[in-house]
Chains A and B, each alone.
Chain A
Amino acid sequence: MREAELIEQARGGSTGAFTALVEAYRERLFRFLLTRCRSYADAEDALQDTLVNAYRYLYSYKAEWRFSTWLYRIAIRNAASQTRVDTREAVDTIDDGSGPLEACIGEQARQNVWLAAQRILNEDVYTAMWLRYVEDMSVNDIAAALERSQSWTKVNLLRGRRALAAELGGAAENKEDRAYGDS
């Protein structure tokens, strides 16, 4: 069934249609939230909140937006609110020095480039990089999801790439870096 039809049915109150609608995005969203939240439990809560909010506010979704962009926008806000809650509750939690991303990539992949990205990029640049290179979003969609300008998005994607390339010892510098800006 087409996405537009599922959206219409979900707006009519069909949770089944909504579940089918977000089926393709749930795991991708969860992966993204795991990299943005401070704990596995927070990422789970953020995913739950994202899907429930998307269902509740589906009436405000406009067809001219890509559904994935709209969904990520909600997820980014939920991740940010989880981070704020975490900051307030930090004194009550035990910090073992590792986030959910380290736990989820396994011992054999400790050189994961996203760990380096977490270390050296701020949250918005990190998210822009994720949406661009993992979700294959256009610059326009990333700007919409982050509520930033297209100029900011382009400049910070380039900076993010350069910072990561420098962090990885220049190994990833390639001709595509020079050709960046096609979106």
Chain B
Amino acid sequence: METLEERLKRDAAAVRAEISPELEERIRASLENAHSAEPASPARARPGWFWLMSSLTGAAAALVIIAVLNGQEPERPPSVADVEPLLRMPALDVRPAMLGPLEEELDNLKKDFEKAERVVREDVDSLLGETER
């Protein structure tokens, strides 16, 4: 008994598919006029040494640039003293006004200390005198 596969093959072969001479001629003419759609090659093949030399040239150029930059005197930023002030302030002597009260306070504290020391010394002397008696 014929299998499905055999029948598929047999029936496909029954399809008449002769290529007419007109179609032959059309195809031949089309092929003659057809051009390969191959994209243009991006670049001509270069020898291996080309890339080596190219790399060495690039590295040498980079070294030269680095050397030149390092050889230049570095530009220093201007110091504060060199900068001309935009607005010159008038000279104000604020020292006496600010330190005067503090110095006065310090003198008073010193006097208090001397006074307290004198009192303590007198107390000590009196205690020692009573003991000796």
Q: Which residues of A contact B (CB under 8 A)?
A: 11, 13, 15, 18-19, 26-28, 30-31, 34-35, 44, 47-48, 51-52, 55-59, 101, 104-106, 109, 112-114, 129-130, 133-134, 161, 164-165, 168, 172-174, 176-177
A-binding segment of B7-15, B48-56, B69-77: B7-15
Asked if B30 is at the interface (CB within 8 A of a chain A CB), the reply is yes
Q: Which residues of B contact A (CB under 8 A)?
A: 1-5, 7-9, 11-12, 14-20, 23, 26-28, 30-32, 34-38
| A134/B19 in contact, CB under 8 A | no
Out of B16, B26, B32, name the residue touching A104 (CB < 8 Å). B16
| A112/B11 in contact, CB under 8 A | yes
| B34/A52 in contact, CB under 8 A | yes
| B17/A34 in contact, CB under 8 A | yes
| B23/A133 in contact, CB under 8 A | no
| A56/B23 in contact, CB under 8 A | no
Chain A binding surface, main DSSP class: helix
Given A51-B27, A176-B3, A176-B5: A31 and B34 interface contact (C-beta under 8 Å): no
Q: What residues on B are CB-neighbors of A57 within 8 Å?
A: 37
| B11/A55 in contact, CB under 8 A | no
Q: Which residue of B lies closest to A176 (CB)?
A: B3
Top-4 shortest CB links A-B: A172-B4, A31-B17, A133-B8, A59-B38
| B36/A105 in contact, CB under 8 A | no
Inter-chain CA distance A75–B5, complex, in Å, is 23
Q: What's the least CB distance linking B112 to chain A, in Å?
A: 103
